[in-house]
């Protein structure tokens, strides 16, 4: 069965990554310091678990609560003009998509402000059991530019319990980090549905076409149904799992569609800093339509074994030097290793 094969292959690959990381940290510790220093990605996972009141056995350290659906992706002709990536050549490829709530709290109410930004992780099935992923959030920007600053931010949040003296560590951090302040304070009203929420890639990638022409860009995943949010009164009445419950009901009536595009970088844009959003005046290349048709019957079982990565790439798409992007796979592999018990 293709889905199980996909999961088996990615687990093998990630086990190797986790073992390699473990060996690396042992070697580093033996060579330098008697006290083994934890890597920044490992400290990030520790802090995410701590903030979620975890670790919660079997769950992701972040984006713990989710739902997995299937469907297909149909590229536009413009997609192949941007990149020679296999899934942009047509006619269409199967996809596996996981929508999620932020935080590592597995039973977080979907309308809780901490559940936002929500996540979308898309796996495109390619030939020969290969695959490639897009992993995005419903806010156009990351709070900080580097993994080190993300760790400082999360540690400041952890040290700012209700009884912490003013200014709290997080207040001090936000005062000197405007992007983090905007991320923390911009209104992010709870969506009516996962199907009515726009998602943003945040990190930049380099796209190369068959002629060898390359452009930096960022993904946008825009709902065909439009961007619709709950009113404050509706948030009050929302049931704890309203997003997870609504999606199967909506899919029973018909497919859910998103338009995927790439926003192209202009001269002077921050390519390696995902905390700076690019303006809406930027040129966009329409990549194609994501058509989602059904929730996996065994979504809860499958999601435990699934592991997405923003660096699961295919020829024609390469990472930028954004340090947050480059740190993500290590953090995800550590989280996977812990949740599947390796
Ligand atoms: C250094 C920065 C970041 C860290 C440390 C981090 C950490 C994590 C961890 C530990 C997981 C759970 C992985 C797993 O167990 O499979 C996760 C999942 C996720 N992250 Fe991040 N993340 C970072 C940046 C980002 C960014 C920039 C985005 C999007 C623009 C993002 C979107 C997501 C999404 C959507 C998921 C859920 C994937 C799924 O459904 O399996 N993260 N993150």
pTM of the predicted model, to two decimals? Answer: 0.92
DSSP state of 53: T
Q: Say how many Å lie between the CA of residue 189 and the centre of ligand 1.
A: 21
- Cα 103 to its chain centre, rounded Å, is 12
d(CA 93, CA 120): 18
Tokens of 295: 């929730």
Residues with CB under 6 A from ligand 1: 44-45, 48, 60-63, 66, 98, 100, 119, 121, 135-137, 142, 147, 150, 202-203, 274, 307-308, 324, 327-328, 331-332, 335-336, 339
What tens digit of pLDDT does each residue of 260-304 get? 999 999 999 999 999 999 999 999 999 999 999 999 999 989 999
Tokens of 104: 């590592």
Residue 5, pLDDT > 70, answer no
Residue 205, pLDDT > 80, answer yes
d(CA 196, CA 291): 14
**What number of residues does the chain have?**
342
Per-position b or e across 201-212, b if 16+ CB within 10 A of its CB: bbbbbbbbbeee
End-to-end CA distance of the chain: 24
pLDDT of residue 127: 96
Q: Say how many Å lie between the CA of residue 335 and the centre of ligand 1.
A: 10
What tens digit of pLDDT does each residue of 218-243 get? 999 999 999 999 999 999 999 999 99
Q: Which of the residue ranges 17-31, 129-143, 238-252, 254-268 would you say has the lowest mean pLDDT?
A: 17-31
What tens digit of pLDDT does each residue of 50-98 get? 999 999 999 999 999 999 999 999 999 999 999 999 999 999 999 999 9
Count the neighbouring beta carbons within 10 Å of the beta carbon of residue 198.
18
CA distances from 94 to 12, 124, 130 (A): 22, 6, 12
Decide: residue 324, CB within 10 A, 0-12 exposed, 13-18 middle, 19+ buried.
buried
Residue 1, pLDDT > 60, answer no
Q: Say how many Å lie between the CA of residue 329 and the centre of ligand 1.
A: 9
Query: Which residue's alpha carbon is at the smallest distance from atom 24 of ligand 1?
Result: 328
What tens digit of pLDDT does each residue of 128-172 get? 999 999 999 999 999 999 999 999 999 999 999 888 899 999 999
Q: Which of the residue ranges 22-31, 36-45, 312-321 would you say has the lowest mean pLDDT?
A: 22-31
Count the neighbouring beta carbons within 10 Å of the beta carbon of residue 258.
26
pLDDT of residue 8: 52
d(CA 82, CA 76): 11
Residue ranges of the alpha helices (H) in the chain? 2-31, 40-51, 77-82, 147-158, 169-176, 178-185, 232-237, 242-253, 299-305, 323-339
Q: In the structure, what pLDDT confidence band is assigned to residue 6 with cuts at 50, 70 and 90?
A: low
DSSP state of 123: E
Q: Which fold has domain 66-324?
A: Catalase HpII,  Chain A, domain 1 (2.40.180)
């Amino acid at each position: 069965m293709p889905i199980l094969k996909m999961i088996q292959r990615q687990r093998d690959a990630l086990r190797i990554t986790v073992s390699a990381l473990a060996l690396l940290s042992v070697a580093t510790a033996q060579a330098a310091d008697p006290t083994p220093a934890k890597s920044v990605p490992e400290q990030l996972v520790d802090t995410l678990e701590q903030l979620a009141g975890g670790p919660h056995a079997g769950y992701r350290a972040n984006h713990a609560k989710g739902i997995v659906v299937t469907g297909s992706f149909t590229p536009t002709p413009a997609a192949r003009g941007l990149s020679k990536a296999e899934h942009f050549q047509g006619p269409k490829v199967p996809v596996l998509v996981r929508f999620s709530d932020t935080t590592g709290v597995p039973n977080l109410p979907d309308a809780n402000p901490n559940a936002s930004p929500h996540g979308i992780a898309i796996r495109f099935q390619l030939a020969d059991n290969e695959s490639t992923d897009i992993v995005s959030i419903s806010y156009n920007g990351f709070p900080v530019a580097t993994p080190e600053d993300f760790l400082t931010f999360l540690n400041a949040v952890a040290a700012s319990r209700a009884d912490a003296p003013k200014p709290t560590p997080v207040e001090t951090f936000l005062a000197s980090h405007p992007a983090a302040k905007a991320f923390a304070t911009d209104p992010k009203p709870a969506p009516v549905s996962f199907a009515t929420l726009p998602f943003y890639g945040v990190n930049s990638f380099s796209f190369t076409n068959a002629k060898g022409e390359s452009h930096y860009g960022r993904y946008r995943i825009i709902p065909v149904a439009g961007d619709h949010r709950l009113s404050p009164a509706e948030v009050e009445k929302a049931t704890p799992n309203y997003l997870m419950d609504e999606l199967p009901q909506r899919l029973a009536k018909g497919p859910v569609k998103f338009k995927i595009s790439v926003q192209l970088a202009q001269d002077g844009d921050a390519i390696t800093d995902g905390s700076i959003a690019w303006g809406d005046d930027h040129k966009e290349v329409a990549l194609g339509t994501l058509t989602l048709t059904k929730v996996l019957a065994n979504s809860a079982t499958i999601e435990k074994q699934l592991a997405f990565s923003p660096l699961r790439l295919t020829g024609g798409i390469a990472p930028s030097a954004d340090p947050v992007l480059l740190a993500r796979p290590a953090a995800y592999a550590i989280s996977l290793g812990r949740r599947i018990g390796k």
